[in-house]
Amino acid sequence: MRPFPFPWMGKTMNVPAQTVLHVQGSPVWCNDAGRAFDPALPTFVLLHGALNDHSVWNVQAAWLAAHGWNVCAPDLPGHGRSGGAALASVEALADWVPALLDAAGARQAVLAGHSMGSLVALEAAARFPERVDAVALLGTAWPMKVADALLAAARDDVAGAIEMVAKWSHSDVGAQAGLREASRRLMLGLAARAPGLLHVDLAACNAYAGGMAAASALHCPVLFVMGERDRMTPPRSAQILTEAVRHGRIATVDAGHAMMAEQPDAVLEALAVFAEERRHAQPDAAHP
């Protein structure tokens, strides 16, 4: 028996509620899923991947907010509705995370990140252990090398690069054409607002060298969520990280890289179980 109410597929979702935070001098648009921040509640931060925005987390954000969590699913700097320039390295994005927490009023949070966001969550958890209670890494890999052809296309042929990412991000199981088209539209819209953004994001993933050191430094619980059909970050490419962390476990879902779109219920269940475990953990058990 599942311990939480599922599934969410087919149910009407509320339009994400907006909180605008001011982080390092720039406005940051954050989906709070309709829950005003309450310092008495735990906080969950959801970090999106390259040329994405907060919307990839809508299902998970709604469940968390409905079950007693403060939720912050931001558009990263220079993405979507957030201001400022896109930060050009995973390390810079990781350093931005505690400033986001400060702006939200959160002393500590659980971080979840997908793809590029997983590297940001990993690095932030290693750099700021006092601010991160636990971390969930979805569609992760290290090294997260990007094919030369895709990097070149992201610089010189953005539409072509988006076509590649939309194709490779989704599995070939089931009726995925609609999901690929939705992903393509999202990325095209974001690229139109911020020319060069895809190349900045992919280059940051490609250049990130600190994964092994960060994973080895973690003392908090770590959840890996892997797509069995992921062609961009296949499960085997996370082996270095899964073997390096002290307190990690793996959940697999029958999906490609765009797992939150392909299998929202399965991803939600993995995060929900992790979230409830963190809620009931003893205060001194977060960092053994």
CATH number at residue 261: 3.40.50.1820
| CA-based radius of gyration for the chain | 17
Give residue 16's pLDDT.
57
Average pLDDT over residues 108-122: 98
Question: In this structure, is residue 162 part of a structural domain?
Answer: no
Q: Are 31 and 58 in contact (CB under 8 A)?
A: yes
Phi-psi region at 129: left, alpha or beta (left = phi > 0; alpha = psi -120 to 50): alpha
Give residue 8's pLDDT.
41
Give residue 31's pLDDT.
96
The average confidence (pLDDT) of the chain is 92
Angstrom distance (rounded) from CA 62 to CA 14: 8
H or E stretch at 161: helix 158-169
| Whether pTM exceeds 0.85 | yes
Question: In this structure, is residue 103 part of a structural domain?
Answer: yes
Please tell me what DSSP assigns to residue 18: E
Q: Phi/psi at 183 (nearest 5 deg)? A: -65, -45
* Maximum Cα–Cα distance across the chain: 51
Average pLDDT over residues 60-64: 96
Query: Domains in the chain: how many in total?
Result: 1
**Residue 76: pLDDT band with limits 50, 70, 90:** very high
Which amino acid, one-letter code, is at 287? Answer: H
Question: In this structure, is residue 284 part of a structural domain?
Answer: no
Question: In this structure, is residue 6 part of a structural domain?
Answer: no
Q: Are 235 and 226 in contact (CB under 8 A)?
A: yes
Q: Which domain holds residue 126?
A: 18-144+207-279
Question: In this structure, is residue 79 part of a structural domain?
Answer: yes
pLDDT exceeds 50 at position 285? no
Question: In this structure, is residue 114 part of a structural domain?
Answer: yes
Of 104, 118, 110, nearest in space to 232 by CA: 118
Average pLDDT over residues 120-132: 98
Which segment of 12-16, 96-100, 131-135 scores lowest on mean pLDDT? 12-16
Question: In this structure, is residue 229 part of a structural domain?
Answer: yes
Q: What angle do CA 188, 136, 126 make, to 5 degrees?
A: 105
Question: In this structure, is residue 172 part of a structural domain?
Answer: no
